[in-house]
Amino acid sequence: MKHNNSSSAGYSTDLTPVQTILLKANLGGALSKLRKYKPKAINNAISYVVKTGCQWSMLPVDFPM
C-alpha cells in the first residue's frame, strides 16, 4: 500500500487524527515551513521502525529518508 503523507493512515503504525493534532501543536510553528518532511511523516516512519523492528534504511520507499 502506497503511503501518502496527506491522506488517511496507510499503515497500522500511522498517527491517528488526534495524535496529528497533538503533534502539530507541539512541533508546528515558524520553522515548519523550512522542513523537508512534515512532522507527521517523520513520526509515522519512526513508529513503523519501532513497531516492526526494521532498520531505518529498510523502510518502504514511500517513507522519508
Distance CA 24, CA 61 (A): 24
Q: Is the pLDDT of residue 24 over 80?
A: no
The mean per-residue pLDDT over the stretch 2-25 comes to 71
For 40-44, what is the mean pLDDT? 82
Tell which residue, 64, 4, 8, 2, has the closest CA to residue 36.
Answer: 64
Position 30 pLDDT exceeds 60 = no
Q: DSSP assignment, residue 57? A: G
- State residue 7's pLDDT score: 47
Of 9-13, 25-29, 45-49, 50-54, the least confident: 25-29
